Amino acid sequence: MPPERVRAAAPDVAVVCPASFRDALRPWIEYRREQGHEVAVLPTGKTALEVRQQIRIIAETGRLRYVLLVGDAPAANERDSTHRVPAPQVNATINVRFGSEPTIASDNWYADLDDDRAPDVAIGRLTCDSSDELAKQIQKIIRYETNRDFGLWRREIRFVAGVGGFSPITDALIESVSRQLIVGALPASYCCRLTSANWRSPFCPPPPAFSRVIQSGLNDGCLFWVYMGHGHRQQLDCVRAGGEQHAILDTREIANLKCGSANPIAILLACYVGAFDGPQDSLAETMLRTEEGPVAVLSGSRVTMPYGMAVFAAELADEFVGASPKTLGDLLLAAKRRTADPEAGGAQRTLLNFLARTASPNHDELDEERMEHVALFNLMGDPLLRLRHPLSVELAKPGKATPGAEIRLQGNSPLAGTATFELAARRGQTPTQVNRHAYSNDVQALARMYEAYQKANDACVSRTVVPLPSGAFSVALSVPPGVSGVYDVRVFVRGTDAYAQGSTSLNVTPPQPARPAPAAQP
């Protein structure tokens, strides 16, 4: 159907899809229309400019909110590209100074309707080479949205931190922002787990087993799986220890993922892992195409920079928590627009700008670096993917507690279900301190390393699981002997049709020794 006729229907969703994939796309179209969307399907066009012109014609109605591209990008010199959707190439300014190509593969160009370089609609791409691959991706999307498993995986956010290797100052910036992202942006009701590629860290598992630990974490399922560090087209960086290198994750290992029904959304804050215009599938594309892998992947297509990534990651976290966006595309759109806005970001942006002006080689071009990262990051996935957000449990702040005693937790739950109440160390308070000055491959040393890693990621010191009715509750939770300081109290309620979570803080104070009675006066 010509775009002019499609425009008359005033669609809110435009799909650019090759003719050979349209039969496989039909279940997705029917599913979205049942949700109330008006979907227009457009031909691919021979060039990116033709595709953008079609999208802009649809956008003239004022209702367009989402654009879905169906199909991989054509590789250079590919003879038959009829089943492809062109990858726009935008000029690079900042990252070319650090070895990147002169252009950036960026679907963001299609979503920019007014030529200000910031997206105006949400956009994503289902990269597929066949109808069968597309059908499996659609099944995974629908399975994710209709999944009624409201278990603890929905509060889990897993972070994997590589070793920067830029310079001591820039590495410190990455580490600082990563820690701030974990500690500051996310409510205490979320359970954050960290795996570090720095063998000196208590959060580093034995390097020879690093990839297996990463895969196990992915297979356990989580809400978001976030990688921060170096990357390549087909793999993440390596762990370097004892003169050896151990891959963190590559395309061969991704193909074996078994996330079951708890598919995460992957966010890869790294270079090249989302280079979807190359002759071989990128790591991000492989993740998306793996049947039991992540349901969507957000990643960079060329060399990415610490400051630009830090700002973008901070905006993603703030937007997810603060605005509860309805779809993944809405989340990405808002985060990109705020990244592009020099006035957005508040105190966190002010801090990042200060650090970057001190440490970044691009200290006088921060606005351009941020704009370049708006182009660099692309969504491999469905921009209409619906995000579930937890209902809120009202949890009253308990009074002071003493070690070895019991506290009474009171509050109000919006739903009935199985409730998990926990007392947990606060983020940033590493429960396990290690001093590793030399690396050892000894079996016992590696076993101790794994034990320290498990302890570092187990912040919970007390837990009780109880059936909980909706409405007011009062639940007892023990405080173990030997603990003191400020802890988080968190609750997660697994319901039949939804889930809820909440948190508060608790001050644990050891009892003061009794003062001796004053001596009797003669």
Alpha carbons 107 and 90: distance in angstroms, whole number: 10
Place of tokens 């405080």: 479
SS3 sequence of 111-155: HCCCCCCCCCCEEEEECCCCHHHHHHHHHHHHHHHCCCCCCHHHH
For 117-132, how does the pLDDT look when each residue is reduced to its tens digit (9 = 90+)? 999 999 999 999 999 9
Q: What is the mean pLDDT of residues 199-217?
A: 94
Token digits of residue 386 = 């619906």
Residue 138 neighbours by CB distance under 10 Å? 21
Helix, strand, coil fractions of the chain, as percent rounded to 5: 35, 25, 40
Tell me the C-alpha to C-alpha distance, in Å, between residue 345 and each of 312, 335, 341, 481.
Answer: 10, 10, 8, 42
Alpha carbons 236 and 300: distance in angstroms, whole number: 12
Alpha carbons 10 and 175: distance in angstroms, whole number: 47
Place of tokens 């049942």: 34
Strand 391-392 and strand 499-508: the pairing is: parallel
Q: Write the single-letter amino acid at 327.
A: T
For 241-272, how does the pLDDT look when each residue is reduced to its tens digit (9 = 90+)? 989 999 999 999 998 899 988 999 999 999 99
Query: Can you identify the CATH homologous superfamily of domain 391-432+439-508?
Result: chitin-binding protein cbp21 (2.70.50.50)
Confidence (pLDDT) at 400: 84
CA angle 119, 120, 122 (to 5 degrees): 75
Residues paired with 195 in a beta bridge = 160
Domains 3-123 and 150-380 share a fold: yes
Q: Which of 180, 171, 427 is nearest to 314 (CA)?
A: 180
The CATH class of the 150-380 domain is alpha beta
For 63-101, how does the pLDDT look when each residue is reduced to its tens digit (9 = 90+)? 999 999 999 998 777 766 788 999 999 999 998 988 899
Q: Write the single-letter amino acid at 431.
A: P
Q: Which of 410, 399, 402 is nearest to 476 (CA)?
A: 410
3-state secondary structure of 329: helix
Q: Which of 358, 428, 418, 405 is nearest to 506 (CA)?
A: 405
Alpha carbons 323 and 213: distance in angstroms, whole number: 33
Could you tell me which residue, 180 or 291, shows the higher pLDDT?
291
Per-domain boundaries in the chain: 3-123, 150-380, 391-432+439-508
3-state secondary structure of 392: strand
Looking at the whole model, is its pTM more than 0.85? yes
Alpha carbons 320 and 330: distance in angstroms, whole number: 10
Could you tell me which residue, 451 or 256, shows the higher pLDDT?
451
Among 7-11, 30-34, 312-316, 518-522, the least confident range? 518-522
DSSP 478: E
> Helix 346-359 and helix 366-376: axis angle, to 10°?
110
Confidence (pLDDT) at 522: 58
> Is the CATH code 3.40.50.10390 the one for domain 3-123?
yes
Helix (H) or strand (E) holding 313: helix 306-323
Token digits of residue 353 = 């700008």
Confidence (pLDDT) at 175: 57
For 167-207, how does the pLDDT look when each residue is reduced to its tens digit (9 = 90+)? 555 555 555 665 665 567 899 999 999 999 989 889 999 99
Strand 66-70 and strand 13-16: the pairing is: parallel
Token digits of residue 478 = 């023990």
Whether 276 has a pLDDT exceeding 60, the answer reads: yes
Beta strands in 148-248 (DSSP E): 156-161, 191-196, 224-228, 238-241, 244-247
